[in-house]
Structure 1
């Protein structure tokens, strides 16, 4: 295969701007010539299936993805876990775990060589992945329109370990999530109105609870005429890929330092730049550190309808989580100031949870809390508007919004009757009613 790859690569270098179809045709021509040479030596011919597999392997090698290519092309794969070159596990969208029977490289050494080449060529900047720099993160230009996110370690573990997360869903709506059972009729209505009213909100939850998917669905409700600035570590929201729905989007992506340790552009840098672009809305993919102060500053400076995601185990811990992240800022944000900023910048916290049982994975909204003024406890008061229902933790109406917020929401079409009978049923008018 190395000889085939070298011949195809040589032909591609002399061709100007070959398409993927033309690359496939070149590979097919070279495989035909190679098969003729094999026949002249008396070697047995390849089967049609073997020829297709060989062509796919050559194309994958040219793309720099090797044995990972077929896994990244599977639409049902959400996460790929490599524990060495030959222990490959696929986490599927339904929550099941599947063992992939084929190695992705001939050895751990070859896997490391593949990773080194990927870090060198496929990122925004050339990066080093070596014994001297044994931890690396990279966005792959494969696995869908938004690519995939790769995290790799070596030397600090027994064998090379790699985790790849595919961004499967590039366009999701609240109606899609409603049909899937992530939120009921009342929740969908409330969130649609909340976005239309320009409320600032955080989507929170643990790992793999669907925070980015819900954020993407919320963004789908943003009016077409509004200029949206998205700020992300890696492009995951993909609003700029849908100009029919979001014609005016400025997507900003952070950049890690190159192999020489220079050129880094952080989320904090990007958030400080956003207001210079006159956004109607600022949307942050995920806040993990001291950039929380820049986000709160952006939301508090008039960028109505701002949204973002944050790791948290419950809505109640979000103020303290914000205060803790504020301590990572430069200079650190005092806890009291973090609480005041959060109270003035945020309107809602939308919390998600995940439940795996009987081989099935469910992700759903479990709570929506209104963020109020700093109270007697010196933290923002939280009022649970939708709370977890006993038994299954799905969010049901608990308490109407404050008068000021209720007036704002009703001006954009909120049906306040959804709060008249707090508790009770999970209202779902598609595919039956959940009770």
Structure 2
């Protein structure tokens, strides 16, 4: 399918006209420049006045929901988001791909790819100016985005309660290229994932018990498989009094935003160097610092390189219930993936040491899978394995607990856990019957 054949984005909610947004932004900005202090009041006043003029001219009354979206779009314009504000304000959108100011594609939660109906800037040059200003002032450190520094990444406080992550490239391609990842499902719980089909009742019981038992869990999967969403839901099972330290490249978990559920959270976010080349704080730095904060649990966002050694140290520090995420093609591939990333550490981590560390630091691997099918995109927990000691193959023994039968969407039990793990789970109240083997679903015993 070529881009010209893709449908236009339409979620049934009218998209504010960019020219109208720009007009209202200009009016509001003029009033704010005259030291009117309340931006929300100024923007609302301008939108209501514009709607009243529209009605006086005989136009149909504007629905309240449309007015609210227009207000948010004007606020986005004042924040320097320009034409990006409206597309960031759509709950159904997960990813935004800007390939030049007038060629914008979006990926929705159901797997649909569609064209955005408006340019996000007046020209590619205007888009580059917008991005340059955004990178210079939207983050905690100023980032230069220029011909001399043509690659930049930043998290912005827009696109939802957890914001959005922007990656941009210029000069190295034919037109400016921007990829924006919106962090949806900010406070999803296991019950929500059960409702949307990511897992079933049996898996919900097991995962809830695993968190309560303080198992060290690693959530794995491919790109956009739902690793962070599942990790966020697992964190909802952590008892409120526990001190949780989260360590991330970008805030994606958002536990620190839910004070009612998580009153004691230390949320740490890495920081890239500023325009002067100073001020970098790496994930490795944060993982070392996390252990000095007396955590009950350490939760680690995705690691991609040699900081895997610090992640394993954090998960294996003796505090129960550590969790994290990792790119991997399957649960069985995880030990080799950890060993490969360990080779990127300074100094490199020997493979044998990486395997021993994996065996001692992890209890369970939960692998999630993305299915792009004609009826839409589905994300499911595909398999769960127990991590055992290093065996005869000089790698950690992996015991499948749940796996997905051919033609099925959800995994079923394929074997019981070790007696030690089962004892820990049952002590939390888990019914050991969740591991009963429905052999007929496989046409025989699964090996």
Same fold (TM over 0.5): yes
Show the 5 A alignment for 1:5-44. 8-15=28-35, 17-25=37-45
Provide closer, same or farther for how the CA distance between residues 103 and 7 of structure 1 changes in structure 2, counting only shifts above 3 A. closer
CA contact (8 A) 2:31 2:42 kept: no
Tell me the residue number matched to 1:71.
87
Show the 5 A alignment for 1:7-406. 8-15=28-35, 17-25=37-45, 59-392=75-408, 394-406=410-422
SS of residue matched to 1:268: helix
The alpha-carbon deviation at position 18 of structure 1 amounts to 2.0
Give the unaligned 5+ runs of structure 1.
Answer: 36-43, 427-435
Tell me the residue number matched to 1:38.
none
The alpha-carbon deviation at position 392 of structure 1 amounts to 3.0
Q: CA RMSD in A?
A: 2.6
CA deviation profile, 1:372-404 (whole Å, cap 9, x unmatched): 101111111101011121223531101100111
The alpha-carbon deviation at position 359 of structure 1 amounts to 4.0
SS of residue matched to 2:278: coil
Tell me the residue number matched to 1:432.
none
Give the unaligned 5+ runs of structure 2.
Answer: 1-18, 443-447
CA contact (8 A) 1:234 1:254 kept: yes
SS of residue matched to 1:187: helix
Provide closer, same or farther for how the CA distance between residues 45 and 118 of structure 1 changes in structure 2, counting only shifts above 3 A. farther
Q: Using the alignment, how far apart are the partners of 2:272 and 2:166 within structure 1?
A: 14
Residues matched between the structures, number: 416
Q: Using the alignment, how far apart are the partners of 1:248 and 1:75 within structure 2?
A: 29
The alpha-carbon deviation at position 127 of structure 1 amounts to 0.5
CA contact (8 A) 1:347 1:372 kept: yes
The alpha-carbon deviation at position 150 of structure 1 amounts to 0.8
SS of residue matched to 1:119: helix
The alpha-carbon deviation at position 236 of structure 1 amounts to 0.7
Q: Using the alignment, how far apart are the partners of 2:334 and 2:389 within structure 1?
A: 14
Q: Using the alignment, how far apart are the partners of 1:356 and 1:6 within structure 2?
A: 43
The alpha-carbon deviation at position 185 of structure 1 amounts to 1.4
Q: Using the alignment, how far apart are the partners of 1:160 and 1:233 within structure 2?
A: 24
Q: TM-score, normalised by structure 2?
A: 0.87
Provide closer, same or farther for how the CA distance between residues 47 and 161 of structure 1 changes in structure 2, counting only shifts above 3 A. farther
Tell me the residue number matched to 2:15.
none
CA contact (8 A) 1:199 1:347 kept: yes
Q: 1:414 aligns with which of 430, 440, 443?
A: 430
Tell me the residue number matched to 2:445.
none
Tell me the residue number matched to 1:431.
none
CA contact (8 A) 2:47 2:70 kept: no
Q: Using the alignment, how far apart are the partners of 1:57 and 1:348 within structure 2?
A: 44
Provide closer, same or farther for how the CA distance between residues 202 and 73 of structure 1 changes in structure 2, counting only shifts above 3 A. same
Provide closer, same or farther for how the CA distance between residues 352 and 3 of structure 1 changes in structure 2, counting only shifts above 3 A. closer
Provide closer, same or farther for how the CA distance between residues 84 and 191 of structure 1 changes in structure 2, counting only shifts above 3 A. same
SS of residue matched to 2:84: helix
